Structure formats: C-alpha cells, structure tokens
Amino acid sequence: MSPIQLVSLKSEISRSPLETFVACAHQMLDPATPEPMRRAMEPRLLAQLPALRALGVFDLFELRDPALRAWMGDELAELTAAPRK
C-alpha cells in the first residue's frame, strides 16, 4: 500500500480539496488498488476540480502521470466551457 492510506468512502474527517485530490489520485495510480475502488474515487477526485482551479493549483503545478494529466485536462476544459451558475 502507498504511504498515503486508502481514503475511506465514508470519510468522517473534513479534508481540504488538495488533500482529497492527492489521496484519490494516489489511489487511482496505485496498481494495487482494485478497479471498483478506482471507480469509486473518480467522482471524489472530479469534485475537487472547481476548488483547485479557483485556487490556481493547475496554473502552478503539472500532473506528471500522462493519463491523469490528459483526463484532468479534459475535465478542466469541460468546466471552463460549462456556463457558471
């Protein structure tokens, strides 16, 4: 298991968007993570994108994993194109 422990789907601890994003990304990239857990992490990871974009995280840092970087790029492009409420 990676140094970052598996994030519980029923987390009682309030985590910052960055902490949640990093923990979910680590789980998704860990080859030992079962596929159902990866699928469960996707919505949690995506839910952090608006806050991280507002904080400018993706202007300062680049994701090193090519697949994760491409996926997040696509998701961020959709957020930018979507009308704000």
Is the distance from CB of 44 to CB of 27 less than 8 angstroms?
no
In the chain, what are the domain boundaries?
A: 17-81
Greater confidence, 10 or 67? 67
Q: Is 71 helix (H, G, I), strand (E, B) or coil?
A: helix
Quick one: pLDDT at residue 2? Answer: 46
CA 56 – CA 31 distance, rounded (Å): 29
pLDDT at residue 3 tops 60: no
Quick one: pLDDT at residue 16? Answer: 92
Region 8-32: what's the mean pLDDT?
82
Q: What is the pLDDT of residues 29-85, one digit of tens each?
A: 999 999 999 999 999 999 999 999 999 999 999 999 999 999 999 999 998 887 665
